[in-house]
Structure 1
Amino acid sequence: MAIAPIIVHPPSPSGGRRVTVRGEILGLAHRDRDVVEFLRRAGIPDAEDLLDDPSWVKWRGGRAHHYEAA
């Protein structure tokens, strides 16, 4: 099974989730809109359609789309 290229890491103690693509850190997201913008800047079109596709995005720790402090 292939590993999803986009990882949304667990919420940090201060809030927000780190977003990486193939190991490269794109930024700290505080909402889905941030994730979509990071992916757009990385050249991934239609990113909003990918957020719930497990073959593209792996949500680690906590619930998907949840950004509050751990």
Structure 2
Amino acid sequence: MPGSRPVIVYPPDEDGGRRVRMDGVILGRAFSVRDVTEFLRRAGLESWDQVDVGTSELIEWRGGGPDVWHR
């Protein structure tokens, strides 16, 4: 069900940045999977790496998956 996942990565904006939200809180604006990984690490998911971020079902990727960073 859309919106039921605790992490949402929004579609890229005009600069290629994607807002990242976890449990209703905006963590930042990411420009790569590496950025998303760092935001989640700071939010308490220290053991996650870029592979986890790219494949986890806990993340809802809107407007394209982890390989989409441009409009």
TM-score (norm 2): 0.81
Q: After the TM superposition, which parts of structure 1 deviate over 4 Å for at least 4 consecutive aligned residues?
A: none
Q: Greater strand share, 1 or 2?
A: 1
SS of residue matched to 1:10: coil
Number of the residue aligned with 2:37: 36
Number of the residue aligned with 2:55: 52
Does 2:8 align with 1:4? no
Q: What is the number of equivalent residue pairs in this alignment?
A: 68
Partner amino acid, structure 2, of 1:9: Y
Distance in 2 (alpha carbons) for counterparts of 1:46 and 1:67? 24
Distance in 1 (alpha carbons) for counterparts of 2:53 and 2:34? 12
Deviation at 1:21, TM superposition (A): 0.1
SS of residue matched to 2:5: coil
Number of the residue aligned with 1:63: 65
SS of residue matched to 2:29: strand
Unaligned runs of 5+ in 2: none
- Give yes or no for contact 2:37–2:53 (8 Å, CA) kept in 1: no
TM-score (norm 1): 0.82
Deviation at 1:15, TM superposition (A): 1.2
